[in-house]
Structure 1
Amino acid sequence: MGSVSLKIGDGTARFKRATLCSSAVNLLMLFSVITTNLFALYAFTSSPKDQQTYHLLHHTQKNISLISEQVSLILREIDSSQKKLAQMEKELLGYESIDLSRSNVAHELKLFLQHHQLPLGKDSRTGITEMVASVGHSCEKSADLLSQYMNYKVSGPCPDDWSLAQKLILRGCEPLPRRRCFAKTLPKVGLNPFPISLWKPVSDKIVTWSGLGCKSFECLNSKKLSRDCVGCFDLVNGFENQRFVKARGKNDFLIDDVLALGSGGIRIGFDIGGGSGTFAARMAERNMTVITNTLNIDAPFSEFIAARGLFPLFLSLDHRFPFYDNVFDLVHAASGLDVGGKPEKFEFVMFDIDRILRPGGLFWLDNFYCSNEEKKRDLTRLIERFGYKKLKWVVGDKVDAAASGKSEVYLSAVLQKPVRV
């Protein structure tokens, strides 16, 4: 009876109803009604020549009436299905996913989620009749927190609640609704010009420390924030300023060696879970642009990366990457790529990486932590499903970066995406 067309990335859903089928059924209905009336008129205005002819006409009229009833039933079913599709459309667009009638729902949230009719009516190209706000479907599960996030004074200062926003994002409430307030600002005094900014220490004073345990970079550098970030905010001492140009083990690939595998075709890249942005800094030194995906988990990663003159993207791995297909020459990811949970969840991330990486582009899996042999096998099988060419592939032990002395297994690989037809 029709087909459903969904486009999840922009937060909208459209249902395209099959008008050809509906028109054919309507014509059939009209034809049957006219034919029935003609036979009825004939039966009442003319006398039958014989009994057989009369019975034939009566039988034909009865069959046509039965067809009319069947067509009417089909039309009712079509109408019922269209209503069900419209209801599904509303639910997918978020019309009824969040109960806005509750007393504790902020007025701004109600206003933002209101759908608005297009001023010129239905759009002939897309079929859309109204605009609907884009908001994550999982926001319904955190409606109280979402309402708290949207409770502010219009045109006034926003509450200092970036940590609340991040909590909502990590709960799947992504994208968050827009707000009509001014975000808290800090004077960015002491920023260095590019490219000096790539390796100059960032001042503690230009960072928002609210919601964080540490209140200085010295404090952060004394902690192991993740497997990929141990002392990663120290751009002068330690190993951060030697990463990608000096190897500490066989799993550490040098950036120039990897770029050489791309045969000069590496220009733009995407770094997933890129810590303090050092990979992007190394690429910037080589006149290549890299976007670093990060969240402020226990540290001000986004502000630090921006202070280095680099591009931070505040986005969780559960969100579909907001890029078009086949646009990046290189995707770099380390252990932060591991989203945990079921293997299918990791597969979704891997397929999205494949989507944004152009044919012939490189996927650099950098020191991916394999907690056990089974996980290493599962990861290997998953990668082989994509048919990538293995340009470099190293599995080896490495001493824990936190200096615990424990040996751990890591996988490093450079893979080239094939051309699929």
Structure 2
Amino acid sequence: MGSVSLKIGDGTARFQRATLCSSAVNILMIFSVITTNLFALYAFTSPKQPHHLLHHHAHKNISLISEQVSLILREIDLSQKKLAQMEKELLGYESLDLSRPNIATELKLFLTRHQLPLGKDSRTGITEMVPSVGHTCEKNSDLLSQFMSYKAFGPCPDDWSVAQKLILRGCEPLPRRRCFAKTIPKSGLFPFPDSLWKPNVRFVRAKSKNDFVVDDVLALGGGGVRIGLDIGGGSGSFAARMAERNVTVVTSTLNVDAPFSEFIAARGLFPLYLSLDHRFPFFDNVFDLVHASSGLDVGGKIEKLEFLMFDVDRVLRAGGLFWLDNFFCANEAKKQALTRLIERFGYKKLKWVVGEKVDSVGSGKPEVVLSAVLQKPIRA
């Protein structure tokens, strides 16, 4: 497994990773050993010659072998460098040079390691506090420096859009800042539960066979649903309906096209400002319910969805419910790929409905829709 570490000290933050290409290098090493042995075999099994000729040929063979070995070693070294560079370009593990003039001073201060005043901590075993930043921040160092350019202990610039650009580009988590966030007076806040503000009947009344009702799904949980996670929950309507039923739901969202986080908080609910590429900041097996709709569609290769689904499975407790709500499948192949992926987890299908709806947000055309309620099994 690879690992990423942030090394500060000489003014450079380096992201180091064990090479994924060691197998290729091993093959080259084996090839060099075989070639050397073949040359040695040739030298010792060639027809006998007079003593002076034998000495001449032996010297010539040794020189040839040495030259061949040197050539192979140079090829191995060159291949290692090429493979390492290819890996850096593919994965984004580059050097974040903090000595560059365009790097903000606050960024340099944040990335500095801080030794613990009393030395090694007996409980955790650490000796220093190491800051955390996303590994792809290097590819957006100019934007990151813009985010970290502010007056320390003064008001933060109104640059939430810069922060969101960094998050969407994989620079997550963002570094902390030493400035005061802008405060906006909020009037008209209602006490809970009046603050929930439920303008529609979604999750309460079904408009199609793919729309499941909250009470029906909770009944499948046998009364054991207390806390949940809503992935890509928009304005928090699902969390509001669950709050009516004394179920606490955390809603992950970004402020794409609207200030969703502020709106969710104004409703007295819990917004989690997080992209789908970020590992859920929760411990294993903590949620009774995970709800996701088409926001679960991360696009790209199936492997990306697999990583997300395994993280969903990680935070969902055994016996918990995974509610896949009106997931739009662009085609039959995508539905089959998603179905195969779900089946690999061994979930029990409590509800499974395939229908067709018009994707008003995406293509605007009728597409296959999958809705399901799945129960996580107990694994050894």
Shift of 1:6: 7.9
Shift of 1:184: 1.1
Shift of 1:402: 6.5
Shift of 1:185: 1.2
Counterpart of 1:139, as a letter, is C
Cα separation, 1, equivalents of 2:234 and 2:106: 35
C-alpha change, 1:172 and 1:277, in structure 2 (3 Å) is same
- Give the 3-state SS of the residue equivalent to 2:164 in structure 1: helix
Counterpart of 1:356, as a letter, is V
Q: Mapping of 1:17-416 within 5 angstroms?
A: 97-199=95-197, 236=199, 241-401=200-360, 406-416=365-375
Aligned position for 2:25:
none
Cα separation, 2, equivalents of 1:167 and 1:405: 27
**Contact 1:136–1:174 at 8 Å: present in 2 too?**
yes
**Contact 1:97–1:137 at 8 Å: present in 2 too?**
no
**Contact 1:139–1:168 at 8 Å: present in 2 too?**
yes
Shift of 1:118: 1.9
**Contact 2:331–2:367 at 8 Å: present in 1 too?**
no
Name whichever of 188-197 and 125-134 sits farther off: 125-134
Shift of 1:403: 12
Shift of 1:96: 8.2
Shift of 1:407: 2.0
**Contact 1:283–1:290 at 8 Å: present in 2 too?**
yes
Cα separation, 1, equivalents of 2:320 and 2:230: 14
**1:199-238: per-residue Cα shift (whole Å, max 9, x none)?**
1xxxxxxxxxxxxxxxxxxxxxxxxxxxxxxxxxxx54xx
| RMSD value, Cα | 2.7
Cα separation, 2, equivalents of 1:138 and 1:181: 24
Cα separation, 2, equivalents of 1:402 and 1:361: 30
Tell me the TM-score normalised to structure 2 length. Answer: 0.74
Cα separation, 1, equivalents of 2:123 and 2:137: 30
C-alpha change, 1:97 and 1:126, in structure 2 (3 Å) is farther
Which consecutive unaligned segments of at least 5 residues does structure 2 have? 7-14, 17-87
C-alpha change, 1:394 and 1:7, in structure 2 (3 Å) is farther
Cα separation, 2, equivalents of 1:124 and 1:284: 41
Shift of 1:109: 0.5
**1:140-173: per-residue Cα shift (whole Å, max 9, x none)?**
1101100010000111111000010000001111
C-alpha change, 1:328 and 1:404, in structure 2 (3 Å) is closer
Cα separation, 1, equivalents of 2:330 and 2:3: 41
Shift of 1:359: 0.2
**Contact 2:170–2:277 at 8 Å: present in 1 too?**
yes
Which consecutive unaligned segments of at least 5 residues does structure 1 have? 15-90, 200-234
Counterpart of 2:191, as a letter, is P
**Contact 1:249–1:398 at 8 Å: present in 2 too?**
no
**Contact 1:393–1:414 at 8 Å: present in 2 too?**
yes
Shift of 1:127: 4.0
- Give the 3-state SS of the residue equivalent to 1:362 in structure 2: strand
Cα separation, 1, equivalents of 2:301 and 2:362: 30
Cα separation, 1, equivalents of 2:252 and 2:3: 30
Shift of 1:246: 0.9
C-alpha change, 1:291 and 1:364, in structure 2 (3 Å) is same
Q: What percent identity do the matched residue pairs reach?
A: 78
Cα separation, 1, equivalents of 2:94 and 2:331: 44
**Contact 2:265–2:271 at 8 Å: present in 1 too?**
yes
C-alpha change, 1:327 and 1:395, in structure 2 (3 Å) is same
- Give the 3-state SS of the residue equivalent to 1:331 in structure 2: strand
- Give the 3-state SS of the residue equivalent to 1:287 in structure 2: coil
**Contact 1:271–1:292 at 8 Å: present in 2 too?**
yes
C-alpha change, 1:153 and 1:380, in structure 2 (3 Å) is same
Counterpart of 2:188, as a letter, is G
Q: How many residues align?
A: 299
- Runs of 4+ aligned structure 1 residues displaced above 6 Å come to 3-8, 402-405
Aligned position for 2:41:
none
Cα separation, 2, equivalents of 1:138 and 1:6: 12
C-alpha change, 1:116 and 1:308, in structure 2 (3 Å) is same
Counterpart of 2:120, as a letter, is K
